Each structure stands twice: as C-alpha cells, then as structure tokens.
Amino acid sequence: MTEYDYWKIFPRMPHKVTIGDITVRDGFQHLEKFISTRAKIYYLEQLVFAGCKNMEVTNLASTYIMPQFSDAEEVLAYLHSDVFKKRCEKRGIDTADLCFTAVTIRESGVDRAIALREKGIGPDRCLMMVSTEEEHHFANSGTTLPEYWKEAARATKKCRDAGMKMCGTVSTIWGSPIAGATELKDAVEFTKRWLEIGASDIEHADHDGSASAPQVYRYYSMILDEIPDTSLHIAHFHETKRVASASVLAALQAGITYFEATLGGMGGQPANFLDDCPVPGTGEYYYDDPRFVGLTCLEDMLVQIDEMGIEHGYDVDRILWLGRQMEKTVGHRLRSEAAINGRTLKEGHPKYARPGLAKRKADRSEKSGQKIPDDWASRATLPEQYRP
C-alpha cells in the first residue's frame, strides 16, 4: 500500500521553519520610486510585530549607485533606538532575538557597517555575494571571481572581528540569466569556500528563477549530505515562471529549514531609474518585463507552509493585512494571491453560503448532514474493472 504520511516519505522535511523577510532591501531596491524612510521603518516594525526575527533592512553600497538606500543610517538608528525597543517590549518581543542584516556587496560596504557599529547603530550581520557563473558575478560586483574571493576573505575577517556575522551568498546555482546553465557541484564547492573563510551562514540563491523542483531537491540533498547543519543554509528563490512554490516544497522535502521572501513577491535587480532620474544600479536590466521578476511571496509562502502544519512563528493574518497595505505604498497590484483571496480556513467562509439549504433538506425529509439517498448502501461498491 502507498505510504500516506508525508514526513515518512520525506524524513528530512522539517516540522518547524524560519522565514526571514527581505522586503525593505531586496523588495524596495527593484522599485523605480523612492520609498520613504518612514514607510521603511513602518514595514520593518510591523514585520517584527507579526513574528519576523530575521530581516535585511538596507544596502550599504554607494548611495550614488543605489540612492534608494540613502537613508540607511536613519533606518538602522531607529532599529537601535529606545523607542523601537520599548514598542517591542510592550508586545513581549525581545530585541536581542532579532537579527538585522545590511547587504555589503563590496569591502567598502563592510567598512561602512563597521563604522556604524562603532557608532552603536551597525547591523548584526553583513552579506556578500558570489555567483558560480562569472559573467553574472562581474555584472553584480565588477570583479573577477578570484579577485572577489580575496576581498571576501578580508571583509569577512573584518566583519567578525567587529562582532558581526557574515552571510555568504552563492548565486546562479540553477542557471544564470547571462550565460545559462551551471553545475550544481560548483555551488556546493562555493558553499564550502564561504564557510572556510568564516561565513556564519549561506544564502543559496536562485536570482533569476531558473530553478526547477527536481533540481532544487537534488541540490539541497547534495548540500545536506556534505554539510548537514540545517541552520547554515538559507533558501532564496526568485519567481519568474510562477513555479517558485514548487521549489519551496522541494527544498522542504530535502530538509531545508530556513527561507527568505518579500511582501508581494517584490524584488530583483536594483533599479537603474529612480523617480525622475536615471541611476547606475547594476546597469542594464537582464529581463524583458519588470512585472515578472521578484522573490517568493511572503504571504503565499506563509499560507503554503501554515496549511502544511509546519510551525513558522508568524501571525499569518497580520501578514496578509500588511501585504494589502504594501500595495497602497507601491501604488500597484503585487503578486500575492493569498493577500487578496485569504487563507483556506477549516471552518470555511459561511458568509458566502446561499440561503435556503436547511429548508430544502427539511422539505425533502433529509437529515441534517445527510449526503446520500436513504435507499442507497452506506458504502459505494466499486465496479470490478476499476479495482486495484
């Protein structure tokens, strides 16, 4: 007989996960309009109040390249303020349990994070990034891979010496938007390199939506066979073909316990136009339609994981409400279906019931809850040709 217990079929699949949010960094970097400092702080705070403990809050790259993060210090200062701490305390949230990350693609960003740390407003964690496909890496960082690895080793040591964590990202695992297919074994090796130079954890990123469920399962199984500590591994999927939920499921089946997402599925390559002015960003976009790029959607991922019975620590309804607020902030419809259509509730949605069912059953002398005619057998007899 078929085994019906999902966790027996996939024994590595977790009963509890961590879901980090990167809306204010990755989500907002893709928009071609500046999101106000007040709005950034509002969403970060509301995400914390809804149960999020791990967030990317800004990018410390040059503000000439990415002016959408020109308020990085102000955002970080608020997250270290007594006002924020008191608002968290009032809700039973210990700010010591929160981890705020700033993206620092180059060593200069790490130096800036260290300077902010010395002022008492630095991030808890920095993030640097390599791509297994060198053309994509060069587009992001302006360096060769060997050149960048040397820089990353220096920056990681600086970061750790200053009391901060370093997340090492490995990108283009399942393919590159520039040079196409890649080898999974290269990403496994790059993961080991990051840990070798002192990274605290690894973000395994599908930055262009190349991943397919079988390859996701294969890759994360390879990773956990070689490096079994699940706390080291973060799944980061982009949505370009509407199949990222399948990748999330495949990663769960392989045993991954930490995921990232954004409200509304926002995000992608940094904008090269902001408000009324062209800006450098990371150059020309490597996609044809900005409506079909972005990350896995936090609202939809939460509903998926919640309805699987996996513990996640979020107030799902609050996140769905927050997703609807975000649509007002950005000024257009985002990609969450759950934010609009809600959850699948066990108790159903009685408000949608049509009147008259009870009276019709009574008129026909049917019992409440009766589903088959009185004169039928209690169990169906399956025709012989359809039996196993």
At 117-156, the pLDDT tens digits run 999 999 999 999 999 999 999 988 999 999 999 999 999 9
> Any idea what the CATH number is for the domain that residue 92 is in?
3.20.20.70
Residues 178 and 287 in one domain: yes
Domain that holds residue 371: 357-386
Beta partners for 258? 18
For 318, the token pair is 């609050």
113 and 251 in one domain? yes
Nearest 10 degrees: Cα torsion 184, 189, 190, 194: 140
- Residue 348's CB is within 10 A of a number of other CB atoms, namely 9
Map tokens 């102000």 to a residue: 74
pTM for the structure as a whole: 0.94
> Residue 81 falls within a domain, yes or no?
yes
Residue 290 in this model has a pLDDT that exceeds 80: no
Residue 1 resides in a domain: no
Domain co-membership, 110 together with 236 = yes
Strand, coil or helix: what is 189? helix
346 assigned to some structural domain:
no
The confidence band for 79, taking pLDDT boundaries of 50, 70 and 90, is very high
Phi/psi of residue 187, nearest 5 degrees: -70, -35
User: Is 351 domain-assigned?
Assistant: no
At 303-347, the pLDDT tens digits run: 999 999 999 999 999 999 999 999 999 999 999 999 999 888 888
Same domain, 140 and 251: yes
290: Cβ contacts below 8 Å, ≥ 6 apart: 30, 268
| H-state helical runs in 297-337 | 298-307, 316-330
> Tell me, what's the pLDDT at 280?
94
- Same domain, yes or no: 380 and 323: no
Judge if 220 and 368 occupy the same domain: no
Residue 233, token pair as written in the block:
């591994």
SS3 245: helix
Does residue 232 share a domain with residue 186? yes
Beta strands 201-206; 165-171: pairing state? parallel
User: Does 224 share its domain with 286?
Assistant: yes
Looking at residue 242, what is its pLDDT?
Answer: 84
pLDDT tens string 180-212:
888 999 999 999 999 999 999 999 999 888 999
Instruction: List the Cα angle 241/245/251 in 5-degree steps.
Output: 120
How many structural domains does the chain have? Answer: 2
Largest CA distance in the chain: 81
> What's the token pair of residue 133?
């496909």
DSSP state of 297: B
Judgement on whether residues 251 and 378 belong to the same structural domain of the protein? no
- Strands of the chain (E only): list them: 18-21, 54-59, 99-103, 125-131, 165-171, 201-206, 233-237, 258-261, 273-274, 277-278
The answer to whether position 349 is within a domain reads: no
Q: Report CA 279 to chain centroid distance, whole Å.
A: 26
Task: Answer yes or no: do 39 and 165 share one domain.
Answer: yes
Residues 89 and 34 in one domain: yes
275 and 165 in one domain?
yes
